[in-house]
């Protein structure tokens, strides 16, 4: 009976130490979680400050003032615009030489005389 009591007391001490270790580990994890939450909140605040600064820097009035101060721009005159009829003709495109690359051959622009139709078959000759 005495040995049984000693074994029960040893089991209780062992169980108490395991419970204490679990409690200690959970306390450490809770502190770590609280620290991470604080860091996340600090980062969110920093992002909010940066967004506010970006909004301030991105205002059209500020950009207009900077452009007037630092760029020698002239206002747009209505006489600067013209119709499309007065544009010069488009320059002729130079066709690159044929290459041995089959993909490049497929991507190369086709000559204007080619069409998408199939060429007619030549009449078959009979061998005699």
Residue 48 lies in a domain: yes
Residue 55 lies in a domain: yes
Counting the structural domains of the chain, the total is: 1
Residue 14 lies in a domain: no
Residue 54 lies in a domain: yes
Residue 121 lies in a domain: no
DSSP the chain: -HHHHHHHHHHHHHHHHHHHHHHHHHHHHHHHHHHHHHHHHHHHHHHHHHHHHHHHHT-HHHHHHHHHHH----PPPGGG---GGGSPPPPPPPPPPP-S-HHHHHHSPPPTT--SSPPPPPPPPPP-
Residue 46 lies in a domain: yes
pTM of the model: 0.45
Query: Do 104 and 98 contact (CB within 8 A), yes or no?
Result: no
Query: Do 108 and 96 contact (CB within 8 A), yes or no?
Result: yes
Whole domain around residue 54: which residue ranges?
A: 27-72
Residue 22 lies in a domain: no
pLDDT tens-place values along the chain, 128 residues long? 899 999 999 999 999 999 999 999 999 999 999 999 999 999 999 999 999 999 999 999 998 888 888 888 888 888 888 888 888 887 777 666 656 777 776 776 666 555 555 565 666 665 54
Of 58, 60, 79, 57, whose CA–CA distance to 68 is shortest? Answer: 60
Residue 101 lies in a domain: no
């Amino acid at each position: 009976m005495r040995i049984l009591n000693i074994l029960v007391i040893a089991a209780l001490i062992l169980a108490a130490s395991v419970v204490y270790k679990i409690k200690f580990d959970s306390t450490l994890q809770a502190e770590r979680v609280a620290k991470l939450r604080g860091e996340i909140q600090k980062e969110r605040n920093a992002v909010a400050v940066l967004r506010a600064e970006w909004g301030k820097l991105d205002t059209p009035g500020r950009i207009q003032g900077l452009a007037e101060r630092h760029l020698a721009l002239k206002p747009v005159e209505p006489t600067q615009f013209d119709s499309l009829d007065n544009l010069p003709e488009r320059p002729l495109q130079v066709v690159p030489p044929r290459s041995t690359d089959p993909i490049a051959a497929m991507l190369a622009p086709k000559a204007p005389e080619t069409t998408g139709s199939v060429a007619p078959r030549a009449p078959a000759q009979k061998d005699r």
